[in-house]
Structure 1
Amino acid sequence: MARFSPLEWPVIRQLRSSDASGRGESVVSQKTRDTTSRTATADKVVQSVCPYCAVGCGQKVFVKDDKVIQIEGDPDSPISRGRLCPKGAASEQLVNANGRITDVLYRAPRAKDWQKLDLPTAIDMVADRFIEARRKHWEDFDDKGHPLRRTMGIASLGGATIDNEENYLAKKLYTAAGAIQIENQARI
C-alpha cells in the first residue's frame, strides 16, 4: 500500500485546485475514481419484462459470464419509462437466489417424495394428460341436439405474472381446445 501524503488531504487538494467550494474533483478520492459500476463490466445487456405483475414493465438485464449481475428499468419501455417498483428492482435476487429450484419436480399420486424429471418428459406428461382429459370429457351436442363443441375436463386459472400478449395466447389455446372455464387471477 502506498504511503499516505498530507498533500492528498481533501482540504489541501481543494486549496491547490480551482475547486473553491470543495464540491468537485478535489474531494473525490482515488478509491472512488477507481470504482466502476456492475453494469459497466457486463458482457451483454438483454431486454426483458418484469415477472411480478401484469403491468409489463421493461427491464434491462445485465449479464456477465452467463450470470445475471444486475437488473434495472428500461428507459426505452413505453410502459415504465425506466422505472421499477421495489419488487421489480429486486428481481435480480429472484434469479440468483440460493434456494431457487431449477429442476422439474414430480410427485406421483399418493407418493411421499418428489422425483426429478427432465423437461421433455414433463412436457410430454402434461400434453398427454391434457389430450386425454379433452378426449374423455368432450361434448359435441347437448340433450336437445344443440351443438356444444366443448370440454368440461379442462380449465385454466392464469396468473397475473404474465402480460397481455401471453394471456391472449393462453386464451386462444384453451378456447381452441374447447375449454370454457378460463379465468385469470388478476380478475378474481
Structure 2
Amino acid sequence: MRLNRRDFVKLSSATALGVAFTGLGMGCKKTAVTKIAQMKPDWSKETTSVCAYCSVGCGLVVTTSLQTKRAINVEGNPDHPINEGSLCAKGASSIQMTENNLRNGKCLYRAPYSGEWEEKSWDWCKKRIAKLAKKSRDKAFVEKNDKGQVVNRNMGVASLGSAALDNEECYAMHAFMRAQGIVYLEHQARI
C-alpha cells in the first residue's frame, strides 16, 4: 500500500481519534452508577451550607452519605438568593476542604526560634490555643476605667467576623466574644 502525505495525515488523525475516544468510558460507568446510588435519599442526607472561600456567601447543598458520614457531593443551592445555584470554580471544588487525601491531617508546631516542625496531637493544640488566649486576655483585661466604674474590657484582643457565616453563627460568635470582654468587634462585610 502506497500512501501520500495527505492520506497519511488522514489515517493518523483517524487512528488518534479512535484511540482517544475508545477509552473514555472505561471504568467510569461503575463509579458514576455507584455515586448516583449513594446520592439517593435512602442512602444520603442533604444539608444547606455557605461557601467559605470569599465574602459573597454563596449557598451550598452538601450531600452526606449516611453509611460513611462523609460528604460525597457539593453543589450550588438553587434556592439561595445570592448565587441561585451557580458556583465559581473555588465553590464548586469546596468538597476538597474536607474530602482530600492530600490534606495534612496532623498538627505541626514550630517552637519559637526553632527551624524544626514537630507533630503534635489535636488535644495539645487546643490546650495551647486556650492557654495563649487566656494569657492574652489576662494581660490586657481592664476591670475598671479611670472613673472607677466596672467595665470588664479585654483591650488586647480583636475579632473579625466572616461574611461566609450565617446569622446564627455570627450571633454565637458575637456572644462568645462579648463574654470574653472583647470590645473591638468588626465584620468583614463592613470593611
Partner of 1:88, secondary structure, is helix
1:40 aligns with 2:21: no
- Unaligned runs of 5+ residues in structure 1 are 1-32
1:122 aligns with 2:125: yes
Which residue of structure 2 aligns with residue 70 of structure 1? 73
Which residue of structure 2 aligns with residue 135 of structure 1? 138
Q: Is the 8 A contact 2:58 2:80 kept in 1?
A: no
> How much is the aligned-residue C-alpha RMSD, in angstroms?
3.1
* 1:179 to partner: Cα distance: 0.9
Q: Is the 8 A contact 1:39 1:70 kept in 2?
A: no
In structure 1, C-alpha distance between the alignment counterparts of 2:100 and 2:152, rounded to whole Å? 45
In structure 2, C-alpha distance between the alignment counterparts of 1:88 and 1:154, rounded to whole Å? 31
1:60 aligns with 2:62: yes
In structure 1, C-alpha distance between the alignment counterparts of 2:177 and 2:68, rounded to whole Å? 39
- Unaligned runs of 5+ residues in structure 2 are 1-28
Partner of 1:96, secondary structure, is coil
Deviations along 1:71-116, one digit per CA (max 9) or x if unpaired, are: 22345x5556961312322222343345422222222222223322
Deviations along 1:35-73, one digit per CA (max 9) or x if unpaired, are: 737333344234141333453514132437555432223
Cα 1:159/1:112, change in 2 over 3 Å: farther
Deviations along 1:128-185, one digit per CA (max 9) or x if unpaired, are: 2222222222212222323321011222223333222212211111111111112233
In structure 2, C-alpha distance between the alignment counterparts of 1:105 and 1:131, rounded to whole Å? 22
Q: Percent identity?
A: 30
| Residue identity matched to 1:118 | S
In structure 2, C-alpha distance between the alignment counterparts of 1:53 and 1:113, rounded to whole Å? 33
Cα 1:78/1:187, change in 2 over 3 Å: same
Cα 1:39/1:81, change in 2 over 3 Å: farther
Cα 1:82/1:122, change in 2 over 3 Å: same
In structure 2, C-alpha distance between the alignment counterparts of 1:52 and 1:67, rounded to whole Å? 20
Q: TM-score, normalised by structure 2?
A: 0.64
1:168 aligns with 2:154: no
Which residue of structure 1 aligns with residue 52 of structure 2? 51
Q: Is the 8 A contact 2:60 2:74 kept in 1?
A: no
In structure 1, C-alpha distance between the alignment counterparts of 2:117 and 2:95, rounded to whole Å? 28
Which residue of structure 2 aligns with residue 112 of structure 1? 115
Q: Is the 8 A contact 2:76 2:84 kept in 1?
A: yes
Which residue of structure 2 aligns with residue 148 of structure 1? 151
Which residue of structure 1 aligns with residue 95 of structure 2? 92
Count of residue pairs the alignment pairs up:
155
